[in-house]
Amino acid sequence: MSLEARAGVDVPLFRLIRRLFMKHPVVVGSSFAGLLISHRLARAGIYHLLVGKRPDFHSLRIGESLDFAGTWLLKENFGHLSRFFHRKDQVFALGARGQVLRFDTNSFLADRIAHLLLRGGIGLRNLDFRLIHLDRQGFDGALYDEVIANPHVRRIEADVEAVTYDHHSDRIVELTLHGGARVEPSVVFDATFHRRLIAEAAGVRREDLGGPRVAVFTHLYAVEKNREPANEWEVSTSVLNFGRSVLPPGVEGQGWCIPFRNHVSIGLSILPPNASVSPEELVGQLLEAFKSRGINVVERFPQKGPIVSVPHQYFTHARAAGANWLLAGGACTQIHFFSSTGVTTALGAAEIAVEFLKNPKSAQRYESFLRGLVGGHPIFDEIEERGKNGEISLPLLRRWVRSVFLRTWSCFTISRVPRRRMFANAIYRVFASQLYPIIGRHVTSYYSLTASPVGTGSQPQV
Ligand SMILES: Cc1cc2nc3c(=O)[nH]c(=O)nc-3n(C[C@H](O)[C@H](O)[C@H](O)COP(=O)(O)OP(=O)(O)OC[C@H]3O[C@@H](n4cnc5c(N)ncnc54)[C@H](O)[C@@H]3O)c2cc1C
């Protein structure tokens, strides 16, 4: 019998009193990670507060190329927003000396085998392994509307200005909002990304993964809307590794091209240049470098949007949770953008959110999921380093593909469904560590390394 019924009181009134006087979970940050968590809590019927200013969904939103775990978690939980999912059939890693490394994400044999095992092992009949690009601009806005319309969500449009943390109990006891209002939370989900609100208040040690960098990015738009992709790069993620031979002197790093039907996201993450180069110049050079490798972005997407330039850094934290708080996604860990895992970490936090309210120990699963992702960071460093010197090679690609494959399992190890977790862990141990190296060595049909530009190829099937 419910508490309300036992108390013999009018149920709605009792609920109202509970809402007014009981402590509730608080999600801080109403962007991607915060919205995913809020959506998950609301779906479980959990009343909570969502604190943060309304994001500007018309400004550029980044985090669009997804890995398998992110793709699967999104498809499973947000299939109704699939209009914002776009094809990611291939990954092109382009070297400074014109090499083109092509990785066909759809015919990746190890994934195919894993697919069969999973279908049999955990009955995922509709498991869809095709990777996606996520149109964050459309998706985030639609998710926001859905979340704030839910009666279990109370939105407070203000920033948190101060956090009271009790070292002894490892608990957040109070949040002070802009304007002075105070909230006593039952649990806090920190979704403030690099603001790191709770990590800072709780004094959690931050571990930097590499030095400071600068990200410069923009969107370009097609004139004619909803036309079919005409080139294979229009359904692929392309990553360009460059050194001095590609961009102006003193500029080193990686650039990306992530197309959607009506717009394309392009940008670069670079070490701070020692020469002064304007963001416009960088983007212009990047477009030229892509063009010389067969990716003529401007021809297909001629309308230029504003260019954004932000400092950033890759990092993780010594722990992801405390007695009543959880660092969600980027507020805990941000590894190489090119690993396509920024979105995945936020989805992982949402996957654990409801369970965390009942059992804070479940955060251990989330922490090991994040550790697995951080373990893959060095291979992306190496691709960047070797790529800019024109040293991309098949053995390097094999190691990269292996790390991608190992990550594939992370979405099942974080899963809220125990059967999936157990099966994925068992498969991981046997398949990934014993069989995968053999498959990776002998089956090479899903990747190639050439010196010819990314061609237009045949018309991709949509
Ligand atoms: C250039 C670039 C390229 C990237 N590419 C990829 C990619 O291809 N694939 C991928 O998976 N990931 C990628 N990422 C990572 C991905 O974009 C991020 O991990 C993700 O967008 C973070 O979402 P978030 O909700 O955690 O953070 P944000 O979207 O930054 O939201 C944080 C929110 O917290 C709010 N906030 C901050 N402080 C407070 C406060 N005190 N009180 C209340 N609210 C507060 C902010 O206003 C904001 O709304 C990329 C990131 C960058 C920068």
Mean pLDDT for the chain overall: 84
pLDDT-derived band at 107, boundaries 50, 70, 90: low
Do 191 and 223 fall within a single domain? no
Cβ–ligand 1 contact at 204 (below 6 Å): no
Cβ–ligand 1 contact at 346 (below 6 Å): yes
Cα angle 313, 372, 132; round to 5: 75
Q: How far is ligand 1, taken at its centre, from the CA of residue 176, in Å? A: 22
Would you state the structure tokens that stand for residue 34, as one six-digit string?
A: 């915060």
Q: How far is ligand 1, taken at its centre, from the CA of residue 185, in Å? A: 23
Do 192 and 331 fall within a single domain? yes
Do 205 and 267 fall within a single domain? no
pLDDT-derived band at 112, boundaries 50, 70, 90: low
Q: How far is ligand 1, taken at its centre, from the CA of residue 120, in Å? A: 37
Q: How far is ligand 1, taken at its centre, from the CA of residue 9, in Å? A: 44
Indicate the burial class of 5 (C-beta count within 10 angstroms; 0-12, 13-18, 19 or more): exposed
Q: What is the pLDDT of residues 157-171, one digit of tens each?
A: 999 999 999 999 999
Q: Is the pLDDT of residue 89 over 50?
A: yes
Do 51 and 141 fall within a single domain? yes
Q: Whole-prediction pTM value?
A: 0.90
Do 175 and 223 fall within a single domain? no
pLDDT for 444 equals 58
Do 341 and 354 fall within a single domain? yes
- Determine which of 41-45, 241-245, 285-289 has the lowest per-residue pLDDT on average: 241-245
CA 233 vs CA 146, 267, 319, 372: distances in Å:
33, 15, 39, 29
Do 172 and 246 fall within a single domain? no
Q: Is the pLDDT of residue 3 over 50?
A: no
pLDDT-derived band at 4, boundaries 50, 70, 90: very low
Cβ–ligand 1 contact at 314 (below 6 Å): no
Cβ–ligand 1 contact at 353 (below 6 Å): no
**Which atom of ligand 1 lies at the shortest distance from residue 55's CA?**
49
Q: What is the pLDDT of residues 22-67, one digit of tens each?
A: 889 999 999 999 999 999 999 999 999 999 998 888 888 888 999 8
112 in a domain, yes or no? no
**Domain boundary residue, one of 312, 333, 361:** 312
Q: How far is ligand 1, taken at its centre, from the CA of residue 290, in Å? A: 26
Backbone angles phi, psi at 349, to 5 degrees: -65, -40
52 CB-near residues (< 8 Å, 6+ apart): 28, 29, 30, 31, 34, 156, 157, 158, 159, 160, 191, 192
- The protein residue with its alpha carbon nearest to ligand 1, atom 30, reads 193
**Which atom of ligand 1 lies at the shortest distance from residue 158's CA?**
43
Q: Are strands 85-87 and 132-134 parallel, antiparallel or unpaired?
A: antiparallel
Rg of the chain (C-alpha set)? 23
**Domain boundary residue, one of 375, 392, 416:** 375
Largest interatomic CA distance in the chain: 77
- The protein residue with its alpha carbon nearest to ligand 1, atom 27, reads 193
Residue 359: which CATH number? 3.50.50.60
Residue 126 in contact with residue 162, Cβ under 8 Å? no
Do 273 and 183 fall within a single domain? no
Do 149 and 239 fall within a single domain? no
Do 53 and 151 fall within a single domain? yes
Q: How far is ligand 1, taken at its centre, from the CA of residue 234, in Å? A: 25
Residue 375 in contact with residue 166, Cβ under 8 Å? no
Q: How far is ligand 1, taken at its centre, from the CA of residue 193, in Å? A: 5
Do 225 and 350 fall within a single domain? no
From 62, 156, 265, the mutation candidate for ligand 1 (largest count of ligand atoms within 8 A of CB) is 62
pLDDT for 114 equals 63
In terms of residue numbers, what domain contains 49? 3-59+135-209+315-375
Would you state the structure tokens that stand for residue 13, as one six-digit string?
A: 């009134």
